[in-house]
Amino acid sequence: MIILQRTEDMTQWSREQRARGKRIGFVPTMGFLHPGHLSLVEFAKIQGRCSQTVMSIFVNPTQFGPNEDFEKYPRDFERDRKLAEQAGIDALFYPAADDMYEKFARTFVEVEGMGKVMCGVTRPTHFRGVTTVVNKLLNIVEPHVAVFGQKDAQQFLIIKRMVQDLFMPVEVLMAPIVRENDGLAMSSRNVYLNPNERKDAVCLSQALNIAQAMIAHGETHSTRLTDAMRMHIEKHASARIDYIAIVDTENLLPILQIQKSSLIALAVYIGKTRLIDNIIIS
């Protein structure tokens, strides 16, 4: 595995691979890798969409709000390097913040509307930071295919919109959520949870399971589904709901009744840690 830090070295590597007829699959991450991240690499390979894989590790400052966890976000490059190598990554891109955002940088990319709902209500500048950095990364890496996790479904749908709107020459794929044995969606932020919070954290996936079971029994009303989810989560002492949303996957607008391609998503504070989870009904 080659480690590349400079943006121009990354681009040069990709262009050499392309010249040799290779297809490049790209997995952007913020590091502190867990099996959820590594599953994205497998997903790209299994789909047969690429012959070379690039992973980036970059804790992107512009997607954190002023009072968020940018400083304390878990980082361990040595550990990540080993895990990436074991996962069979060909190139690990590990840029410096000053390179990604040089002193006079002024350009942001924003998908209007979709970034202001759901997670965008409590994190109003988050998705602008995500779309900006993903745009930069795609321009630097020039992959044929980029893989994102359903764990961040709103992020994926916004990136897909951006790629389509800007005619970006890349295929974007969404890989399924990888969960702990009890159902908690894997996340680098799970390390913040103390043992009691860790127990309560399972209420997110349990609430989604409750909604899914109700839908299987014919329930379609969004309010009845969200009420049942809310009731379940509120039984957990350390849980405080940020939002529960049932929306159309195309535009993230709320829907009154479940329809084909609905996203049920939620964000819940467990103690001070904000966790997200979702299911897509299709």
Applying CB under 6 A, the residues found at the interface with ligand AMP are: 29-30, 36-37, 39-40, 148-149, 151-152, 175, 177-178, 185-188
Distance of closest approach, residue 27 Cβ to ligand AMP, in angstroms:
7
Distance of closest approach, residue 262 Cβ to ligand AMP, in angstroms:
19
Q: Which residue type sits at 144?
A: H
By Cβ distance, which residue is nearest to ligand AMP? 149
Q: Which of 34, 37, 221, 236 is catalytic?
A: 37
Q: Which is nearer to ligand AMP, 188 or 249 (CB)?
A: 188
Q: Which is nearer to ligand AMP, 152 or 197 (CB)?
A: 152
What is the distance between the alpha carbons of residues 218 and 268, in angstroms, rounded to a whole number? 26
Please say if 37 is a catalytic residue: yes
Distance of closest approach, residue 97 Cβ to ligand AMP, in angstroms:
15
Q: Which is nearer to ligand AMP, 151 or 236 (CB)?
A: 151
Residue 57 burial by CB count (10 A; 0-12/13-18/19+): exposed, middle or buried? buried
Cβ(257)–Cβ(221) under 8 Å? Answer: yes
**DSSP state string for 1-69:** -EEE-SHHHHHHHHHHHHHTT--EEEEEE-SS--HHHHHHHHHHHHTT--SEEEEEE---GGGS-TTSS
DSSP-derived letter for residue 99 is H
Q: Is 117 helix (H, G, I), strand (E, B) or coil?
A: coil
Cβ(145)–Cβ(170) under 8 Å? Answer: yes
Residue 281 burial by CB count (10 A; 0-12/13-18/19+): exposed, middle or buried? middle
Locus of tokens 């029994």: 217
Q: Which is nearer to ligand AMP, 119 or 175 (CB)?
A: 175
CA angle 87, 91, 96 (to 5 degrees): 115
Distance of closest approach, residue 221 Cβ to ligand AMP, in angstroms:
29
| CB contact burial 210-221 (16+ within 10 A = b; e otherwise) | bbeebbeeeeee
Distance of closest approach, residue 185 Cβ to ligand AMP, in angstroms:
5
Q: Which is nearer to ligand AMP, 37 or 49 (CB)?
A: 37
Cβ(239)–Cβ(233) under 8 Å? Answer: yes
What is the distance between the alpha carbons of residues 35 and 43, in angstroms, rounded to a whole number? 12
Distance of closest approach, residue 267 Cβ to ligand AMP, in angstroms:
14
Q: Which is nearer to ligand AMP, 29 or 249 (CB)?
A: 29
- Indicate which residues carry an active-site annotation: 37
